[in-house]
Amino acid sequence: MPPGGGPMTDCEYSQISTHGSSPMESPHSKKRIAARRKWEVFPGRNKFFCNGRIMMARQTGVFYLTLVLILVTSGLFFAFDCPYLAVKITPAIPVVGGILFFFVMGTLLRTSFSDPGVLPRATPDEAADLERQIDIANGTSSGGYRPPPRTKEVIINGQTVKLKYCFTCKIFRPPRASHCSLCDNCVERFDHHCPWVGNCVGKRNYRFFYMFILSLSFLTVFIFAFVITHVILRSQQTGFLNALKDSPASVLEAVVCFFSVWSIIGLSGFHTYLISSNQTTNEDIKGSWSNKRGKENYNPYSYGNIFTNCCVALCGPISPSLIDRRGYIQPDTPQPAAPSNGITMYGATQSQSDM
């Protein structure tokens, strides 16, 4: 399935042309137009595969590098080290390694191929209605030259939180949402854009991203430890240099694991800290809840308990996709009006095949 997406106007995403068909237009062509799915005219910079079931960022080169490193390193370990270790130590080594490998691959693909929590853009009618609300709230006329304010304030657990207006999506972003410049989407609970997984990391795939880097840490340490064990056992029989010559694949695995394990473990530790305090990478980098901003500044999203914060992040329900990317475009369906609070959340119906 060829990738879809690319910069589109809001009109293209929310509706198709309603001009009357010409006498030469057949009923079959009208059916084809009506049967278009939303992912085919999605306004963000994303790629879609399998009829919209798989959603990724447009730049996926680093993601393929991640796949190659994991597959090659693990493949060499299972092909050249595990047979020797299973005989000399225990058959449980390839079993445990296989479980870790499949868990790593499963969480990686789940993170990379899913909707991270993209917020739908406002339709032209919703955007115009929101502009009128802004003008009325600020006492300006629709023909004024003053640009609309970029923020609104809401109170969350006693803390004032600013909602920023996105001029691309034409919405006031909900709390913790941010606009990804690479994917050109507003994402709920935006953490960061990760080129290693080829997707944004947000509300709907953050737990899978965390489980991916955590399990990858265990897999890397596991492979590195048993590769060293393999070389030591061989060196006791034939000498160290001969052991290296007899198992060049083990040397390659050890080098790859040695230079990657530190960054992977460090990343896992950093995100463990973020989960325990219920923060995002975006908030931590900006210092949103730092005491330097004032003594009264605190994180309103934290439950005040490390265990509760971890349970909410890792065990809470996954919210449905809001963009309904596999839904059909209905040319004659009226568009919903913008909510009175200014946060546009239309299209919240989830297709059964959405990830």
Catalytic residues: 194
Q: Is residue 151 classed as helix, strand or coil in its secondary structure?
A: strand
Q: Is residue 4 classed as helix, strand or coil in its secondary structure?
A: coil
Count the Cβ atoms, other than its own, within 10 Å of residue 81.
23
Beta strands per DSSP E along 126-260: 151-156, 159-166, 171-172, 178-180, 185-187, 192-194, 199-201
Exposure class string for 134-152: b at 16+ Cβ within 10 A, else e: bbeeeeeeeeeeeeeeeeb
Nearest Cα to Cα of residue 174 among 152, 205, 147, 149: 152
Nearest Cα to Cα of residue 301 among 321, 320, 319, 276: 276
Sheet with strand 159-166: strands edge to edge: 151-156, 159-166, 171-172
8 A C-beta contact, residue 153 and residue 238: no
Token pair 């240099």: residue: 241
Count the Cβ atoms, other than its own, within 10 Å of residue 253.
26
Distance CA 308, CA 314 (A): 10
Give whole-number Cα distances, 308 to 212, 268, 278, 318, in Å. Answer: 21, 19, 9, 16
